[in-house]
Structure 1
Amino acid sequence: MTRLLNEEQVKSLISVSEINEVVDKTFEGFGLGEIVNPTKVTLDLGETGNWPQNEGFMNAMPAYVDWLKVGGQKWVGGFAGKRKEMNLPYITALITLIDPELGTFTSVMEGSYISNMRTGSQAAVALKYLGKKDSITVGMFGAGIQARTATICIADLFDIDRLVVWNHRRSTAEQFKADMEPFVKGEIIIADPAHPEEATDNEALFTFTPAQEPFITKEMVKSGTIVFPMGSFEEVSEDVILSADKIIVDHVDQALHRGVLKPLTKAGKVTEDDIYCTLGELAANKVTLEDYSNERIICIPIGTGALDVAVAEVVRRRAVEQNIGTEFDFI
C-alpha cells in the first residue's frame, strides 16, 4: 500500500529543528559516500522562452539515502503564466518514495513544503559547517518563500543579530520584515531597492531572487564574508566567483553546470579543480576549514534530491506511526 499525504499533513509531522537534523545527517551521508544522487534532469516547458511556451519547467531529482534505507524522487518545478493568473504558488512539487529492495512505492506526498524548508535548512546547516558559532549577521536578497524558510531555519541554529533584507519591491520586503520578526533576535533592516550594497555588510549573504543579471559585485563583498548564491539563477557577478578564496558546493557535477558556475564552466574559467570541497566532506570531517576571516567564501548549495527524500521518509514513518494520511493500492 502507498501512503498519500497532503501539505497540511506533511507540515504537522515534522518540525524545523527536525528538518535541520535530517539535512545535517544527509550531508554527512554524502561525505561518507552513502548517498546516490544523480544530477537534476530539467524538462523545459517554456521557462527559457522556447517551445512549448508555458513559462515553466520541471526538475526530476532522484536519490537513494542509505542511512534511512530509502529511494525516491522529487518532481518539482516553477510556473508563471497561467498558473500565476490563477493565483497559484510559483512552485509545484510532488515526492515519491520507494522500498529500495522491492521497488514498491511506499508514499506519494505533496512536496512544496519539504522543498522550500530543506532549501532553507541546507543554508542554515552549511553555516554550521563553515564554523559560525551561536550568532550571525545576514544579508538577505529576495523576500519570497525561500528567503523566509532560510531565515526560519537559520534562526533555529543561530541567533540572528542583524538581518538586512533587499528586494526589488519594497512592499514585499516590508511584509517579510513583519513576518520574520518573531524569528530574528536582532533588528531587521530594509535596504533601499536601488542600493543592494546596503545589505552586503554582513557575515553571510544569501540570494533568493529570479534575477537573470548579476547585482552583487566584487566591490560589495568584504573579506570574511560567505556568499550563498542559492538556486539556478545568476545573481552575483563573475568577478565575485573568480576572486573567491574558496568555492564550496553541495554536489560538484551539478554545481558546475547550473546557476552561477554554469557560464564560467562553459567558458573554461572554472573547473572541478577550483572546488575547494563539498559540504558533505565538511559534515563528515574529511575536510576542515582554517581561519578564513580574511577570505571571501562562495558556498553554492544548488539543492539535491537526497535532502528531499530523506525529510520525506522521516515524514512517512511518522505518518505510519500516527496513522495519518490515506493508504492507496495502485495495483
Structure 2
Amino acid sequence: MLILGYDDVRQALEGRELDVLAAVRTAYLRHERGSTAVPHSVFLRFPEDERNRIIALPAYLGGEQPVAGVKWISSFPGNLQLGLERASAAIILNSMRTGRPEALLEGSVISARRTAAGAALAAATLRAQIPDTGVSLIGCGVINRQVLRFLRAALPQLETVTLFDLDGDRAAAFARRCAEEEPELKTGIADRVEEALGAHPLVCLATTAAVPHLGTEHCRPGGLVLHLSLRDLLPQAVLGAVNVVDDADHVCRAATSLHLAEQQVGHREFIAGTLGGILAQDRPYQRDGRRVTVFSPFGLGILDLAVADLVRRAAEAGGHGTSVAGFLAGGAG
C-alpha cells in the first residue's frame, strides 16, 4: 500500500495546473462517451446536525489505464473557528486486476484542485464574445483560492479580481495573499455581494451556503456564474439562466438549487447541456449575450480519480510517499 500524505500530494501537483486541467478534461470526455461508472454519492448526516456532513464518492474512470476508487470527504464549517480547514478527505485507489486497495492519498488538496480545474475549464470553454479579463470570487476560502490559480492558467488574459466574503477579515487576508503572490493582478474587495456579482461578467460562487439566497439580477447580461457551492442561487435564477452541468442526474439531488428548480417546475428542460457534451463537440462555444449562463458541477468522483492517479504516478516516478508492506492479508500491499 502506497500512502501519500498532504506534503506528498502538494509536491506532486506543484506547478502542474495544465496537467490537472488536461486530466479533468479527459475525465469529462470519457464520462460523456460512457466509459465511466459514477454511482450516486452517499451523504452521511447526523441527527440534530444540519450543518456537518461526510460524503462518499465511489467511481470508475475507464481508458487505457483505468482506475477505480472512492473519496471520503467531510465538510465541517465550524472548523474555520478552530483554525482548521473546513474540508478534509482521503482517497483510496484500487487495483483493476485484483480489486485490492493500492494507494491511500490525502484528498483535500486533490478535491480542491479538481474542483478549481473544472471551474476553470468551464470558464475557458463557455466563452464570451469578448474574452473575460476579470473575475468576482464570492467566498474567500480554499476553493476560490485554487479557482484563481487555475483560472490564471486557463485564461492568461485575466488581470482583475474582485473579492467578497461575509467575513471581511477573510476577504482582506485573501487580498493580501494575492498582492504577495500575484502582484500583477488588480485586486479589490466589494462591500456588498451585489457589487461583486456585477463587477465582472465572470463570477465564481464557492461558499458554505446551505440554502439559496442569491438571484442573478445583479449579474451582467452574457455573464458566466461558476456555481460551485450549488446552493447559492434561488430556483427562479436557475430557471431564468442558461444552465450547463456536469451530470444532470447527480446535480439534481440533495437540495441543490437545480434540484429545487426541478421540484418547482417538474422537469429538467431548463438544463441546456453538459460540459462534457460541449467539449465533445470540439468547436468553439459562445455564451448567450443576453442571459446569464450558470455552470453547476456536482463534482463527479471521476475527477478525483483522474487527479489522484496523476499524483500517484508522479509520486511513484519520484520515489515519494510511504510504502507499507503487509497492509493487506495474503501478501504484499
Return the TM-score normalized by structure 1.
0.89
Q: Alpha-carbon deviation of 1:183?
A: 3.8
Distance of aligned partners of 1:165 and 1:274 in 2 relative to their CA distance in 1, 3 Å threshold: same
Q: Secondary structure at the match of 2:158?
A: strand
Indicate if the aligned counterparts of 1:231 and 1:303 stay in contact, CA closer than 8 A: no
Q: Name the CA distance, whole Å, in 2 between partners of 1:253 and 1:281.
A: 15
Output the amino acid matched with 1:70. Answer: V
Cα distance in 1 for residues equivalent to 2:86 and 2:94 = 27
Contact 2:201 2:219 in 1 (8 A): no
| 2:238 is aligned with 1:237 | no
- Say if 2:212 is the partner of 1:190: no
| Deviation of 1:111 (Å) | 0.4
1:142-195 Cα distance to aligned partner (Å, 9 max, x none): 101111011111111113222111111211111111212334744111000xx2
Determine the structure 2 residue equivalent to 1:316. Answer: 312
Partner Cα distance (2:306, 2:232) in 1: 29
Q: Among the aligned pairs, what percent are the same residue? A: 24
Partner of 2:22: 21
Q: Which residue is equivalent to 1:65?
A: 61
1:218 positional shift = 3.4
Cα distance in structure 2, aligned partners of 1:204 and 1:134: 10
Within 2, Cα distance between the matches of 1:138 and 1:283? 22
CA contact (8 A) 1:218 1:239 kept: no
Question: What is residue 5 of structure 2 aligned with on the other side?
Answer: 6
Alignment match, 1:276 = 272
Distance change >3 Å, CA 87–CA 162, structure 1 → 2: closer
1:299 positional shift: 0.9
- Secondary structure of the equivalent of 2:127? coil
| SS at structure 1 position matched to 2:133 | strand
Count of residue pairs the alignment pairs up: 319
Does 1:137 find its partner at 2:134? yes
Unaligned 5+ runs, structure 2: none
Q: Measure, in 2, the Cα distance between the counterparts of 1:124 and 1:235.
A: 19
Matches of 1:114 and 1:280, distance apart in 2: 20
Question: For 1:227-255, what per-residue CA distance to the aligned partner results, in whole angstroms no more than 9, with x for missing partners?
Answer: 122134x21223211111x2100111111
Query: SS of the residue aligned with 2:166?
Result: coil
Q: What CA distance in whole angstroms lies between the structure 1 residues aligned with 2:278 and 2:119? A: 14
Alignment of 1:36-115 (within 5 A): 36-45=37-46, 50-51=47-48, 53=49, 56-67=52-63, 68-80=65-77, 86-115=82-111
Instruction: Return 5+ residue gaps in structure 1 as ranges.
Output: none
Q: CA 1:318 to 1:134, structure 2 compared with 1: closer, same or farther past 3 Å?
A: farther
Whole-Å separation in 2 of the counterparts to 1:19 and 1:88:
26
Residue 261 (structure 1) shift: 1.2
Q: Which residue of 2 aligns with 1:307?
A: 303
CA separation in 1, counterparts of 2:131 and 2:182? 15
Q: TM-score, normalised by structure 2?
A: 0.89
Give the counterpart of 1:147 among 144, 148, 152: 144
Separation in 2 of the partners of 1:55 and 1:238? Answer: 21
**1:165/1:231 Cα in 2 relative to 1: closer, same or farther (>3 Å)?**
same
Q: Aligned-residue CA RMSD in angstroms?
A: 2.2
Give the Cα–Cα distance (whole angstroms) in 1 for the partners of residues 185 and 205 of structure 2. Answer: 20
Q: Deviations over 1:1-57 (max 9, x none)?
A: x11110100111122222112111111212222221122110113xxxx34x59521
Deviation at 1:94, TM superposition (A): 0.2
